[in-house]
Amino acid sequence: MSPSTLRQSTCALLALGLVTTATAGPCDLYDAAGYPCVAAHSTTRALYSAYSGPLYQVQRTDGTTTDIAPLSAGGVANASTQDSFCAGTTCVISIIYDQSSRGNHLTRAPPGSAGSGPAPGGYDNLADATAAPVYLNGHKVYGVKVAPGTGYRNNDAKGTATGNAAEGMYAVLDGTHYNGGCCFDYGNAETNSVDTGAGHMEAIYFGNCNVWGTGQGSGPWIMGDLENGLFSGQNAKYNGGDPAINYRFVTAVVKGDSSNLWAIRGGNAASGSLSTYYSGPRPSGYYPMKKEGAIILGIGGDNSHGAQGTFYEGVMTTGYPSDAVEDKVQADVVAAGYATSS
């Protein structure tokens, strides 16, 4: 085959998505910059270039389960495994595996001080495994569609920030699926599912709840859930720099330093770069922080479970990641090719 023909054939295969090259995933980028991932959750793809383990587990109504892994190391989820396993029945997402070495898997959330969930024993519901289909570079995958009453948690997480230690986190979410309930969160929370006071949480919030802080317009907004309040900046009520989000796929970033500094960033997960919506001092009464290190998804720290939203991927890191490494992660997210059709 001549070099010209070889180049043409390779380009054709690339166009069909049949040839892939190993590229750094989000956690490879964080690790290389000195901010290692201590939790990496996704039902859509591997977040390390070498990761080939399970992404999540689905459970049928008869109680049987199977794990869903990437098509290849560093690749997208093998949705056909789920489709075959769940054909003719109903499946829920029973475990969202942590791809980091910490083993911080997310499972059904237990009851909390805000109330019990609707499932037996006061636990929260699990997400319908087929309710949030999307495509990554043409491959069908499934997100985690959280309805009110649904929630995931790990109250015994390892390596996450505690006290006033620095941390970063990002999540890719559905920018059109939200409500004003409390609280569609992903991040750091109390280890006993009880509201233990201001500063005991640091999590990404997405929605248009306006009971505490707000941003521009009527939302939805990316804010920080720092416990006993959702904050869009230093002001407890309003930050004009925090815009209402109108993207189908949104990248949300919250990070907090050990100094009196925290930030909110965001952008379109399908194109473009991140913008900084707030960077500065913490709200009054929230420094020093008293983080406890549990991990939540879809609920508040006290198991408030009135919110809704859809989660595709997210990580938590040690340290206070630079804007530069977050920009590289955003570029990786965009390259993943989130779309609503193939």
User: Active site residue: 302, 313, 326, 332, which one?
Assistant: 302
pLDDT for position 22: 55
Is 2 within the bounds of a domain? no
Is 87 within the bounds of a domain? no
Known active-site residue 202: no
Known active-site residue 302: yes
User: Active site residue: 227, 292, 326, 332, which one?
Assistant: 227
Tell me, what CATH number does 224's domain have? 2.60.120.200
Instruction: Give the model confidence (pLDDT) of 207-266 as tens digits.
Output: 999 999 999 999 999 999 999 999 999 999 999 999 999 999 999 999 999 999 999 999
Structure tokens belonging to residue 39: 């939790």
Is 17 within the bounds of a domain? no
Is 129 within the bounds of a domain? yes
Is 96 within the bounds of a domain? no
Is 174 within the bounds of a domain? yes
Closest Cα to residue 259, out of 325, 190, 326, 319?
319
In this prediction the pTM is 0.94
Reduce the DSSP state of residue 72 to 3 states and report it.
Answer: coil
pLDDT for position 27: 98
Is 63 within the bounds of a domain? no
Is 257 within the bounds of a domain? yes
Parent domain of 254 = 24-48+102-337
Q: Is the pLDDT of residue 67 over 80?
A: yes
Instruction: Give the model confidence (pLDDT) of 164-207 as tens digits.
Output: 999 999 999 999 999 999 999 999 999 999 999 999 999 999 99
Number of structural domains (the chain) is 1
User: How far apart (Å, rounded) are the C-alpha atoms in residues 133 and 77?
Assistant: 12
Structure tokens belonging to residue 334: 């965009």
